[in-house]
């Protein structure tokens, strides 16, 4: 957790209001995402240059819109004792057990464990896992990561980031911490490795981010090559849920004088370009967040889905992104579309080079829900030729509805590509 968060911008309505939620890490588990976070109970103290954070909390959600309290980790139940220095933490699951790595300010890192995120949580060691003298950097702002081969790691630190491999028990160290080399970082305060390292993996490549800057490597140990800056501000992290990528980041609430007050958490979709770089955040998503839409929007992009089959592909096109490889039985889900008029028409923007075309079935709620609209999709001639297709909904009531587009046609063939859709009266 850094004290230098003034660069963070006001953004969309944060999740889990009205409770402040800083230093969030989100961990999916099946149909649920768990958010592990600190707690700002007072505004940032400009005189002392510190936050007051007396405990950690865990919340859960099945749709990233509605969140529910699961448990609290009290520092009094750990080696820390009663404290207001509950800095950044990271929760992760391994072998049907949950582990919550927590920072004692910038001094040390401990670990608690529980059978479920609902707790109760128990200090697994009764002492720091990463004591203050274990490396040349500060032992805090930990990020836990389990690689595809099952090996587990912690990344932590400030100024220079370090990585250490964990044993299978997740509460002891297999190796000594070693520094992570990052090449090509430009000069300038916006690129400084203040703290808040986060590690994730996409398409076989490791991404090491520290707030907005990020670097990539083919090896988890590095060296990492600087790529650029993404748009998610402050302490945050990347995760995948229901075959969609997301980033959680810091939203600030300030007073009328724009002094830093409380930190919250916001969410946005993540889109990777063909070269592996992270695409800019869409302004409308920065404003409204993920998992809900408005019928008045000019377009609802296909890549903003909240669930799809594992074989569909999100690919870069000149105008942005589109969803490809839509085959028989595949679906895209869009929950909570607000202010839909009665008897609305859904207008798809698509391309289709399949000579047999396809059928689109619009289902209410889920891909297995009742069909409330359907139409045959005619070929457009080639994959770069886009047309629109209006599909009237069957006597839908006005208000908020959840839709899933199910694609039907010849098996084992790509049926169509979806760029976007809009809601018309």
Query: What pLDDT sits at residue 49?
Result: 77
The string of DSSP codes covering 110-159 is EEEEESSTT---EESSSS-SB-TTSSSS---S-EEEE-TTS-EEEEEEES
> For residues 293 and 338, what is the distance between their CA atoms, to the nearest angstrom?
6
Whole-number pLDDT of residue 45: 74
pLDDT of residue 10: 41
Supply the pLDDT for residue 386.
98
**pTM of the predicted model as reported, rounded to 2 decimal places:** 0.95
Per-residue model confidence (pLDDT) at position 255: 66
Start and end residues for every CATH 2.115.10.20 domain found in the chain: 25-288
User: Which residues of the chain form CATH 2.60.120.260?
Assistant: 293-424
The helix (run of H) or strand (run of E) holding residue 284 is helix 283-288
Whole-number pLDDT of residue 17: 74
Q: What is the CATH code for 293-424?
A: 2.60.120.260
Query: Yes or no: is domain 25-288 CATH 2.115.10.20?
Result: yes
Give the residue among 393, 410, 411 at the shortest CA–CA distance from 402: 393
- Token pair recorded at residue 168: 């299978």
Is the CB of residue 358 less than 8 Å from the CB of residue 392? no
The pLDDT averaged over each successive group of 10 residues in the chain (425 residues) is 35 73 96 96 78 95 96 98 97 97 98 98 98 97 98 97 98 98 97 97 98 98 98 95 97 69 92 98 95 97 98 97 98 98 97 98 97 98 97 93 97 97 97
Q: Tell me the backbone φ, ψ of residue 258, rounded to 5 degrees.
A: 65, 30
In this structure, what are the phi and psi dihedrals at residue 54, rounded to the nearest 5 degrees?
-90, -5
């Amino acid at each position: 957790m850094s004290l230098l968060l003034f660069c963070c911008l006001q953004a969309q309505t944060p999740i889990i209001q009205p409770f402040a939620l800083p230093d969030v890490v989100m961990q999916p588990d099946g149909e649920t995402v768990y958010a592990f976070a600190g707690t700002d109970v007072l505004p940032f103290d400009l005189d002392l240059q510190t936050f007051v954070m007396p405990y950690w909390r865990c919340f859960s959600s099945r749709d990233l819109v509605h969140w529910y309290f699961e448990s609290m980790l009290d520092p009094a139940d750990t080696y820390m004792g009663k404290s207001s220095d509950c800095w950044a933490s990271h929760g992760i699951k391994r072998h049907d057990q949950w582990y919550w790595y927590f920072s004692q300010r910038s001094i040390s890192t401990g670990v608690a464990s529980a059978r479920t995120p609902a707790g109760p949580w128990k200090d697994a060691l009764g002492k720091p896992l990463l004591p203050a003298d274990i490396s040349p950097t500060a032992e805090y702002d930990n990020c836990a990561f389990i690689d595809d081969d099952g090996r587990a790691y912690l990344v932590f630190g400030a100024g220079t980031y370090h990585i250490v491999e964990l044993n299978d028990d997740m509460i002891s160290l297999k190796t000594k911490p070693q520094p992570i080399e990052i090449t090509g970082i430009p000069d300038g305060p916006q690129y400084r490795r203040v703290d808040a390292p986060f590690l994730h993996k996409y398409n076989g490549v490791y991404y090491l981010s520290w707030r907005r800057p990020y670097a990539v490597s083919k090896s988890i140990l590095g060296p990492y090559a600087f790529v650029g800056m993404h748009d998610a501000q402050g302490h945050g992290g990347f995760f995948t849920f229901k075959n969609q990528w997301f980033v959680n980041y810091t939203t600030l609430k300030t007073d009328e004088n724009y002094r830093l007050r409380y930190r919250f958490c916001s969410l946005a979709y993540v889109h990777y370009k063909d070269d592996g770089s992270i695409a800019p955040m869409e302004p409308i998503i920065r404003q409204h967040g993920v998992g809900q839409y408005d019928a008045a929007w000019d377009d609802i992009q296909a890549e903003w889905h909240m669930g799809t089959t594992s074989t569909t592909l999100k690919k870069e096109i000149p105008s942005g992104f589109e969803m490809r490889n839509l085959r028989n039985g595949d679906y895209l889900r869009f929950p909570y579309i607000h202010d839909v008029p009665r008897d609305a028409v859904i207008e798809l923007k698509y391309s289709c080079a399949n000579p047999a075309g396809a059928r689109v079935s619009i289902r209410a709620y889920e891909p297995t829900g009742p069909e409330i609209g359907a139409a045959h999709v005619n070929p457009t001639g080639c994959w770069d030729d886009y047309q629109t297709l209006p599909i009237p909904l069957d006597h839908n009531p006005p208000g908020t509805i959840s839709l899933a587009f199910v694609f039907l046609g010849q098996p084992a063939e790509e049926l169509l590509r979806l760029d976007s859709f809009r809601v018309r009266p």
